[in-house]
Amino acid sequence: MTTRAEALGVFDGAMAQRGYGLNKMCFSFNEAANREAFLADEEAYERRFGLTDAQRRAVADRDVLALLAEGGNIYYLAKLAGILGLNVQDLGAQQTGVTVEAFKAKLLAAGA
């Protein structure tokens, strides 16, 4: 089984295949009607694109790192993150394993 650290490595062909449905769903969010349909019924919208159980769980948990591990491409996931109300500080906190407040404090300290 692939570890989470390994899964977050290189986005290669295998990762692209793993994340195809997820990335296709995220690409669909370029259209406002699709964003609205997702927000109206996330589970039904995810089924349209054949998301795996792990991918659906990661969306429900708002876990961007898990989505990356499941083959999500960060460029497509950015659309989903915006729909979910996550901003750059939220993503940075997830990536560094700290709270949003601690991540913001780290940014402020680095800029001082």
Range of the domain at 20: 4-86
How many separate domains does the chain show? 1
pTM above threshold 0.85: no
Query: How far is it, in rounded angstroms, from Cα 90 to Cα 98?
Result: 10
Q: Do the domain assignments include residue 98?
A: no
Here the tokens at position 90 are 């939220």
3-state secondary structure the chain: CCCHHHHCCCCCHHHHHHCHHHHHHHHHCCCHHHHHHHHHCHHHHHHHCCCCHHHHHHHHHCCHHHHHHCCCCHHHHHHHHHHCCCCHHHHHHHHHCCCHHHHHHHHHHHHC
Quick one: pLDDT at residue 54? 97
Q: Do the domain assignments include residue 28?
A: yes
Quick one: pLDDT at residue 5? 46
Quick one: pLDDT at residue 60? 96
pLDDT tens-digit series, residues 40-83: 999 999 999 999 999 999 999 999 889 999 999 988 998 999 99
Q: Do the domain assignments include residue 103?
A: no
Here the tokens at position 19 are 């994340």
pLDDT beyond 50 at 96: yes
Kindly report the CATH number assigned to the domain that includes residue 8.
1.10.700.10
Quick one: pLDDT at residue 61? 94
